Amino acid sequence: MKNTIITLLTISAINIIAQNDSTFKTVESALKNIDKAKILDLNSDLLSFKPGNLKSIPSEVGKLVNLQVLNAANNVITKIPEEISGLQKLRQLFLPTNKLKSLPNGIENLKQLEYISLMDNKFKEFPIVLTKVVSIQKIDFQSNDIKFVPKEIANLKNLKAITFYENPNLTKVPEEIGQLENLESLNFGNCTKLKFLPETVKQLKKLKYLNLNFTLISDDYINELKKEIPNCKIEQLKMK
């Protein structure tokens, strides 16, 4: 099951949520302790994979001005309120295993956001608004249905890791990806229709990990990559 796959970053966040006395389980309880509320955990049982029934995040969440971590994983959320723009101190946003198709424009106001997980949702397009969050360092788009990566991704100069693992209809990656000079990890594993990567990928000199498992990327191109970025571990299992 897709929702049994948890990234190491998610596991780390779970540990923080479990141990931190600034964690609150509802928006209502957090609003009574605005100064103290730094973590909002709207998913009560992530490790057991029991889905929650939360369909939306209350708009009042925007009043939690000291919030640093928002975890709403493993629910049935279809929409994030514009009021999320009020979370100026938010650093980590966990939204995996929901029913999201888009993000609100207010996301661009999260000037300290470093990590967002949108794994296992309903995205068919990369949300352009996310390319305006220049503080972002790690993005997880695993198990969605994104068709192409927009050229605006070049705006994310602080990006260190991004995964598109298991986006089966992804076919286009722009030349602008080569402008992500701090990128260390890039995952296109199980993007089974992806045939080409731009030559500019060879410019990613800080890249340490590249997953091309079960793509249609040619062996010749992969061999060229190995010469240009020799310190990068490249996975390249082929479809039979």
Q: For 42-79, how does the pLDDT look when each residue is reduced to its tens digit (9 = 90+)?
A: 985 555 556 678 999 999 999 999 999 999 999 999 99
Q: What is the pLDDT of residue 43?
A: 85
Give 178 or 11, the one with higher predicted confidence.
178
147 part of a folded domain: yes
Lowest mean pLDDT among 10-24, 91-105, 202-216: 10-24
Residue 178 has pLDDT above 90, yes or no: yes
Q: How confident is the model at residue 1 (pLDDT cuts 50, 70, 90)?
A: very low
Q: How far apart are CA 41 and CA 72, in angstroms?
A: 6
**Per-residue pLDDT tens for 8-28?**
445 445 555 555 678 999 999
Tokens of 124: 């068919």
Burial 39-57 (b: 16+ CB within 10 A, else e): bbbbbeebeeeeebebeeb
- Average pLDDT taken over every residue of the chain: 91
Q: What does each C-alpha distance from 1 to 22, 27, 120, 155, 215 come to in angstroms? A: 32, 30, 10, 34, 21
Tell me, what CATH number does 162's domain have? Answer: 3.80.10.10
39: which residues sit within 8 A by CB, 6+ positions away?
16, 17, 20, 22, 23, 24, 67, 68, 69, 70, 71
- pTM over cut 0.85: yes
**Per-residue pLDDT tens for 144-173?**
999 999 999 999 999 999 999 999 999 999
Q: What is the pLDDT of residue 6?
A: 46
30 part of a folded domain: yes
Q: What is the pLDDT of residue 10?
A: 52
Q: How far apart are CA 235 and CA 192, in angstroms?
A: 14
150 part of a folded domain: yes
141 part of a folded domain: yes
Q: Residues of the chain with pLDDT > 90: what percent?
A: 85
Show the domain range for 138.
2-235
Q: How far apart are CA 93 and CA 214, in angstroms?
A: 29
Q: What is the pLDDT of residue 2?
A: 45
180 part of a folded domain: yes
Question: For residue 25, how many C-alpha atoms fall within 13 Å in the half-sphere facing its CB?
Answer: 6
Distance of CA 184 to the CA centre of its chain: 15
240 part of a folded domain: no
For the chain, what is the domain count? 1
Q: Residues of the chain with pLDDT > 70: what percent?
A: 88
Q: How far apart are CA 239 and CA 214, in angstroms?
A: 5
Residue 232 has pLDDT above 90, yes or no: yes
Average pLDDT score over residue span 100-127: 98
Average pLDDT score over residue span 218-225: 96
